[in-house]
Amino acid sequence: MAGGEVVIETLDSEVLKGNPLGDPTRRDVAIYLPPRYDSRKRYPAAYGIVGYTGTGKSLFGFDPLGEDLKSRLDRLIRTGKMGPLIVPMVDCFTKVGGNQYINSSATGRYDDYLRKEILPFVESKYRVSRRGIWGKSSGGYGSIVQGMLHPDTWSALADHSGDALFELCYIMDFPRALAAFQDHGGPTGWLRWFWRQPNRRREEMAPVLNTIGMAAHYSPNPKSRELGADFDLPLWSHRAIYNEREGRIEMHLVSEAAQTVLYRTFAPVCYQRR
């Protein structure tokens, strides 16, 4: 059986016009069509939304040591483990590193873009019987949120390693982000510096970019001079402390003001690097 085909469609978005980050409004949608695609038939569509720092087309990239998305879909259909379907991969990348697939005054109306523009655009060109949404990491979390907010839109969802318990998984990024903000005059200064760098995938950049992105999506404030988001920088500082027992230097958050901190306790989970 011959493999499927990936076609690139381009949409000029009205919803994203005037977005606060000045991100492109003309975007590609990479769409997988199954082997022997018949335009007279209807197919289920599995809309893919990617993790932070990714774009839809990136999953179709050739990997000499792995299996790209097209090859995997071809294999699953060829071996009968999955029926033929259409897989549109959406581009929601932003200057803050990615997307959470919600509407935010600091990034743009990406929930509306996905549901009110991408869906009708794709389904005006390809015959769809029913639709689902899936993703990994931020895309997995976005799939869960889309399913909860819009059950009338999605018939199914799949969450692969979706982000969760933000108060635990992201707080470890804060000390590094605060240190970077101080070095560059704040979040806006750091982001400008970041986009001037030739290699923007250095490991130490990730927690800073992620902190900016989460603030932009979940703490938008149009009155803020820092990327239209709340960072509450005067309330926090960071400090390097040597942990003698563990023999390592640790970064700690330090409150600079009296604050009420709400927390919950969970069973400890330990991870060991091998």
Q: How confident is the model at residue 61 (pLDDT cuts 50, 70, 90)?
A: confident
Residue 177 pLDDT exceeds 80 = yes
Is pLDDT larger for residue 175 or for residue 90?
A: 90
Instruction: Compute the average pLDDT of residues 45-66.
Output: 90
Nearest to 207 by CA among 159, 169, 164: 169
pLDDT in tens, 25-44: 999 999 999 999 999 999 99
30, 4 in Cβ contact below 8 A? no
Write down the pLDDT at residue 163: 86
Nearest to 252 by CA among 239, 266, 265: 239
Helix (H, G, I), strand (E, B) or coil at 44: strand
Write down the pLDDT at residue 8: 97
Write down the pLDDT at residue 174: 86
Q: Which residues pair with 253 in a beta bridge?
A: 238
DSSP string covering 199-256: ----GGGHHHHHHHHHHHHHSB-TT-TTTTB---GGGEEEEEEEETTTTEEEEEEEES
Give the whole-number percent of the chain exceeding pLDDT 70: 86
Write down the pLDDT at residue 273: 41
Write down the pLDDT at residue 269: 40
Residue 245 pLDDT exceeds 80 = no
pLDDT in tens, 124-151: 999 999 999 999 999 999 999 999 999 9
